[in-house]
Structure 1
Amino acid sequence: MASDTAFVTFENVCKYYQMGDTRIAAADHVSFEIAKGEFCVILGPSGAGKTTVLNMLGGMDTCDEGKIILDGETVSDFDARRLTEYRRYDVGFVFQFYNLVQNLTARENVELASEICKDPLDADLVLDEVGLKDRKNNFPAQLSGGEQQRVSIARALAKNPKILLCDEPTGALDYKTGKQVLELLQETCRKKGRTVIVITHNSALAAMADRVIRINSGRVIDVALNKDPIPVERIEW
């Protein structure tokens, strides 16, 4: 059963895919909890089921069994229309590839997200906060990979979401730039009290998290809490 303090709860969640005559469990009775305002790292090798878990939490996929709860609402019971609202209002997404609209400026890309939300944050303000004060009128092609990912994070934050879901957010970036992006995400969690979930195969990132959920072969193999998370700039890999 979900505890009173949990912000996110997965309760025996399963997701199956049919491959010919074989049924594959991409998520196999996955259970965990995440508290509000935590920085959580979901860790595992490629193909472990991390993205499946993230997609179900983000409402981009549905589970076949079990229960998914966010902020007291049972997401796994939502119909298609309610899932669309949930994705639009409650969840901010940051992907490995930035998914920016190429013919829109940085500001316009962020405004695009804030236009569909109930209680958006000011696009200029959010771009200032992610360090892009002087790059707002640039198009994606005029920005570095790190800058484009910052626009992507600003776009997600401008929605003022309940939760920020990041799927390998540094996967397309070099080491130094990747660290800067992770620093920004960690700062967003600490200073804004935002619940941030990052999925990664990089085990070094476990040290920066409040909570580490290890997944392999579609199963949770370990959940650990860090009493003293380390700032990402002090982590080497």
Structure 2
Amino acid sequence: MAFVEFREVSKVYRMGEVEVAAVDGMSFEIERGEFVVVVGPSGAGKTTLLNMLGGMDGCTSGSITLDGREISGMDERALTQYRRLDIGFVFQFYNLVQNLTARENVELASQICPEPLDADEVLAQVGLGHRADNFPGQLSGGEQQRVAIARALAKNPKLLLCDEPTGALDYQTGKAILALLQDTCRATGRTVVVITHNSAFTAIADRVIHVREGRVAAMEVNAHPASAETLEW
């Protein structure tokens, strides 16, 4: 069994008399420890996919499993535990608590997880050990995103989900964040999924899932992924 499995997953929203399928019979697999890029245009179903995999939204039909557990059939209480313990989230906007230091933002993870990683160690891993006592307002956008990544990693999650993690960053800073995510995947064996509209990111992925109109249009495995530091777009 693959680490992540989507089996004929659909998500239908009802708007009055109209039904809209944001995801329409989507199937794919992800292996443990892979760096995965899910790519597609706006409205293709990428964020809906991420929300369902992250336990923030349920599917209308089909099955979703992570590490042998079916999450598509979980009740709200079980999904809350799943989000807390198994998933690390990184979004386009950093969602840091402004009146907490970088260290304190990362330490938030220790309040909800049984086996959190040390905040100072994780900040050092993302290159911000020297900024642990700074508040978000004293950090650049790239530094704030590094704190957000550290906060997600400190939960010691099984899966790291990143929704357009470079979307609010300039080109060079965005490359640095992608390199950090790729290096983290390689160094820790953690499974990382990056959602993006930027097809250039596919070069650095172990696995690429192309999404279009709520379906998987194609999936490919890169035998020799490029380094994020070499990316250009």
Instruction: State TM-score, norm by structure 2.
Output: 0.99
| Preserved CA contact (<8 Å) 1:114 1:155 | no
Q: Provide structure 1 residue ranges, at least 5 long, that are not aligned to the other structure.
A: none
Once the two structures are superposed, the pairs formed by residues 167-186 of structure 1 within 5 Å of their partners are 167-186=163-182
Of the candidates 188, 192, 204, which is equivalent to residue 196 of structure 1?
A: 192
**Aligned partners of 1:141 and 1:212: how far apart in 2?**
35
Q: 1:43 aligns with which of 39, 47, 52?
A: 39
1:64 is the counterpart of 2:60: yes
Structure 2 equivalent of residue 127 of structure 1: 123
Matches within 5 A, 1:94-105: 94-105=90-101
**What does residue 74 of structure 1 align with?**
70
CA shift at 1:20, angstroms? 2.7
In the alignment, structure 1 residue 207 sits paired with structure 2 residue 187: no
When structure 1 is superposed on structure 2, of 100-109 and 17-26 the one drifting more is 17-26
Q: Distance in 2 between matches of 1:114 and 1:53?
A: 27
Give, as a single letter, the amino acid of the residue that structure 2 aligns with 1:169. Answer: P
Gaps of 5+ in 2: none
Counterpart mapping for 1:122-161 below 5 A? 122-161=118-157
Match of residue 222 from structure 1: 218
Identity %: 68
Q: Tell me the SS of whatever aligns to 2:11.
A: strand
2:27 maps to 1:31: yes
Report the counterpart of residue 16 of structure 1 in structure 2: 12
Select which of 107, 115, 125 maps to 1:111.
107
* Over 6 Å off, 4+ runs: none
Partner amino acid, structure 1, of 2:87: V
Tell me the amino acid that sits aligned with residue 75 of structure 2.
D
Q: Would you say 1:233 and 2:229 are equivalent positions?
A: yes
Q: Take 2:111 and 2:131, find their aligned partners in 1: how far apart are those partners?
A: 21
Q: Distance in 2 between matches of 1:37 and 1:198?
A: 13
Q: How far did residue 115 of structure 1 move?
A: 1.7
For residues 90-114 of structure 1, the C-alpha deviation after alignment (integer angstroms, 9 at most, x for no partner) is 0000000001011100000000112
Q: Report the TM-score, using the length of structure 1 for normalisation.
A: 0.97
Q: CA RMSD in A?
A: 0.6
Instruction: Please list the CA deviations of residues 6-65 of structure 1 after superposition, one character each: whole Å capped at 9, or x if unmatched.
Output: 100000000011123210100000000000000000000111100000000000000010
